Amino acid sequence: MALQITVDPDSATAPFEQVRAQIAEQARSGALPVGYRLPTVRGFAEELGLAANTVAKAYRALEADGVVETRGRNGTFVAAAGDAAAREAAEAAVAYARRAHRLGLDRTAALGAVQDALRAVYEER
């Protein structure tokens, strides 16, 4: 099993985001199992023809999302992302619900705003 990432230089999506999204999807789908060691930032950047900072930014975003964990000099590994992603999504949902309530939105209006946002985000892919 090897990490398979392609970066389209003509895409409107930034290269770091392309890398982040593809690694996240492969981790979610199980193509990259929990504990899989990602390539070093510099080595992977060289392989992809990107700047090291671009790959580092993708790795930082993946770590912030709980998809990977960095173990210092030992490297970056795929984490148990499903649990972390579900937990973070639930926390974000609660924060949104509280904010919408404070703004005076009723349940129907708050749910409509979420549905519009989800439609916009998921259809842009």
- Radius of gyration of the chain from Cα atoms? 17
The C-alpha atoms of residue 108 and residue 64 are separated, in whole angstroms, by: 31
Per the CB < 8 A criterion, the answer to whether 55 and 44 are in contact is yes
Helices (H), ranges, 11-106: 15-29, 41-48, 52-64, 81-102
Return the bridge partners of 77, or none.
37, 69
Per run of 10 residues, the mean pLDDT along the chain (length 125 residues) is 88 96 91 92 96 97 91 89 69 92 96 94 78
Residues with Cβ within 8 Å of 15's Cβ and at least 6 positions away in sequence, in order, are 7, 9, 48, 50, 54
Threshold 0.75, pTM exceeds: no
What is residue 46's predicted lDDT score, i.e. its pLDDT?
A: 96
